[in-house]
């Protein structure tokens, strides 16, 4: 029982993990919300910590045997406060949320009554599902089922329109005003948001899931200066394990309310292996080396953006302040789905995304790409220039197929796997990726 490793016990799963290892190694990963975490973090995730139940808060557990787990969780909390420069008399942190969406739901559950109001950036404008997303026909996210939601949007150039936000917020009067995004290439004006929140008597919450690595290294504005609550995932630019955190100002007993919402309100036993991995990464992010990494993530996104513009690509907001680019494809006459498909076939992972002006969220005309993963793998300027040309080649393939076979996705995609230009490009990309750093080198 204790000696058999995966390859002995289950070849099928073992082979699938190897397959995924090779996919990651031979792919250009441009999904803006992903990263390659360290071996140290992965060791925590595969450790005996996964065996232990520890419902409750450190030193106040529902089960015995938690003396070590308590030390790990307290270490993680202390490092979280330290990493973001927070004072424990003013701020509390909960590192038990399983991930970003549960963290956000725990905030609403702790601080609001069912039916209270939240307001965040609309999903097609770059916001996240868990900020209250619903369509005219359907309440999609549970955050819109249990709370009333009205979003604010970006303008036609892709920037958040704070004047319009203020008008909408004054009219709707949300109990929590949420800032933060999954596909917004610019920074946030927290001071202005604080003024709006104060005017309407709302809590101000920042969800820094995407940008926490940039915030912790002080490469973006500091949400802690103005917000009451800050939530984050830990596996994106922060480069930690897949997990979540909630920071809350110790006012009006809000830390207790949120702790109770996490457990027993929404979750059971914390994932201690994740919490240990997060503790390790929160030590890592305080090193100069991590700051240098984040600076490169940003400069690489800006460099790639300029290279793409030279090749005729149009960027939402014409550039970026952070780790991602939102690329408009309308000028090429193709959709994000077609671009995503061709990129996938040539081993470039990215995702279709709504861009300003899109009529339907179901057929977005843009793509979102991020630089965290390939910066981790050490891709240099020469590589980013190559990538810009490969992306342009993917556009050209989409257009050529469209001209030859028609716009309908089914006609356009007929026998696409046999396309010679796709096969050739894929080979070139695989060979390039094999040269980059990955876990074993
Ligand atoms: N918040 C933002 C801004 C996100 O971008 C995401 C995920 O992409 C989440 C929350 C949710 O995180 P998770 O997928 O870990 O639930």
Confidence check: pLDDT of 441 > 70: no
3 state SS of 214: helix
Summary mean pLDDT of the chain: 97
* Residue 132, ligand 1, Cβ within 6 A: no
pLDDT band at 165 (very low <50, low <70, confident <90, very high): very high
pLDDT of residue 1: 76
**Model pLDDT for residues 240-287, shown as the tens digit of each residue:** 999 999 999 999 999 999 999 999 999 999 999 999 999 999 999 999
* Residue 141, ligand 1, Cβ within 6 A: no
Residue 193, preceding bond cis, omega within 30 degrees?
A: no
Measured on CA atoms in the order 414, 418, 424, 426, is the torsion positive or negative?
Answer: positive
pLDDT of residue 267: 98
35, 95, 101, 106, best to mutate for ligand 1 pocket (most atoms within 8 Å of CB): 101
Q: Rounded to 5, what percent of the chain is helix, strand, coil?
A: 50, 15, 40
* Residue 130, ligand 1, Cβ within 6 A: yes
Confidence check: pLDDT of 295 > 70: yes
pLDDT of residue 361: 76
Helices (H), 97-208: 100-111, 142-145, 162-172, 190-200
pLDDT of residue 291: 98
pLDDT of residue 435: 95
User: How far is 138 from 121, CA to CA, in rounded Å?
Assistant: 18
User: How far is 23 from 35, CA to CA, in rounded Å?
Assistant: 14
Q: Is 207 a catalytic residue?
A: yes
Which residues on neighbouring strands pair with residue 314, listed in sequence order?
A: 328
**Residue 428: HSE in the Cβ half-sphere, 13 Å Cα cutoff:** 14
Q: Is 53 a catalytic residue?
A: yes
Catalytic residue chosen out of the listed positions 52, 53, 153, 195 = 53
User: How far is 119 from 102, CA to CA, in rounded Å?
Assistant: 17
Print burial letters for 249-269: b (CB count within 10 Å at least 16), e (below 16).
beeeebbebbbbbbbeebbeb
What percent of the chain stands above pLDDT 90? 97
User: What count of residues does the chain have?
Assistant: 441
Taking the CA of residue 131 as reference, the ligand 1 atom at the shortest distance is 1
pLDDT band at 360 (very low <50, low <70, confident <90, very high): confident
pLDDT of residue 238: 98
* Residue 100, ligand 1, Cβ within 6 A: yes
Measured on CA atoms in the order 182, 183, 189, 195, is the torsion positive or negative?
Answer: negative
The tokens describing 180, both together, are 């933060």
């Amino acid at each position: 029982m204790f000696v058999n490793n995966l390859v002995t016990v289950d070849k099928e799963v073992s082979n699938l993990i190897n397959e995924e290892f090779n996919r990651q190694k031979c792919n250009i990963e441009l999904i803006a919300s992903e990263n390659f975490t360290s071996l140290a973090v992965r060791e925590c995730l595969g450790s005996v910590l996964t065996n232990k139940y520890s419902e409750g808060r450190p030193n106040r557990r529902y089960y015995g045997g938690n003396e070590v787990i308590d030390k790990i969780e307290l270490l993680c909390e202390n490092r979280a406060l330290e990493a973001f420069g927070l004072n424990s008399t003013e701020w509390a942190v909960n590192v038990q949320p399983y991930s970003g969406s549960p963290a956000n739901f725990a905030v609403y559950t702790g601080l609001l009554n069912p039916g209270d109001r939240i307001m965040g950036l609309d999903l097609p404008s770059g916001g996240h599902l868990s900020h209250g997303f619903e369509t005219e026909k359907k309440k999609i996210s549970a955050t819109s089922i249990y709370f009333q939601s009205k979003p604010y949007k970006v303008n036609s150039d892709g920037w958040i329109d704070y004047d319009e936000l203020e008008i909408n917020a004054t009219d709707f009067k949300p109990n929590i005003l949420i800032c933060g995004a999954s596909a917004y290439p610019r920074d946030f004006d927290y001071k202005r948001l604080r003024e709006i929140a104060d005017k309407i008597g709302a809590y101000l919450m920042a969800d820094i899931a995407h940008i926490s690595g940039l915030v912790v290294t002080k490469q973006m504005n500091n949400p802690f200066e103005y917000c009451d609550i800050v939530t984050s995932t830990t596996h994106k630019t922060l480069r930690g394990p897949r997990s979540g955190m909630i920071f809350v100002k110790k006012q009006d007993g809000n830390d207790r309310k949120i702790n109770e919402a996490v457990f027993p309100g929404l979750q059971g036993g914390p994932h201690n292996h994740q919490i240990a991995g997060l503790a390790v990464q929160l030590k890592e992010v305080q090193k100069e080396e991590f700051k240098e990494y984040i600076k490169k993530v940003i400069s690489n996104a800006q460099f790639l953006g300029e290279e793409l513009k030279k090749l005729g690509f149009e960027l939402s907001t014409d550039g970026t302040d952070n780790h991602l680019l939102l690329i408009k494809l309308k000028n090429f006459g193709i959709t994000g789905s077609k671009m995503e498909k061709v990129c996938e076939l040539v081993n470039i992972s990215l995702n279709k995304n709504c861009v300003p002006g899109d009529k339907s969220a179901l057929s977005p005309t843009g793509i979102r790409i991020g630089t965290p993963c390939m910066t981790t793998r050490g891709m240099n300027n020469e590589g980013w220039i190559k990538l810009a040309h490969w992306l342009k080649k993917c556009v050209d393939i989409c257009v050529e197929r469209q001209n030859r076979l028609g716009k309908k996705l089914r006609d356009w995609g007929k026998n696409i796997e046999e396309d010679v230009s796709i096969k050739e490009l894929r080979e070139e990309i695989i060979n390039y990726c094999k040269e980059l750093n990955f876990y074993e080198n």
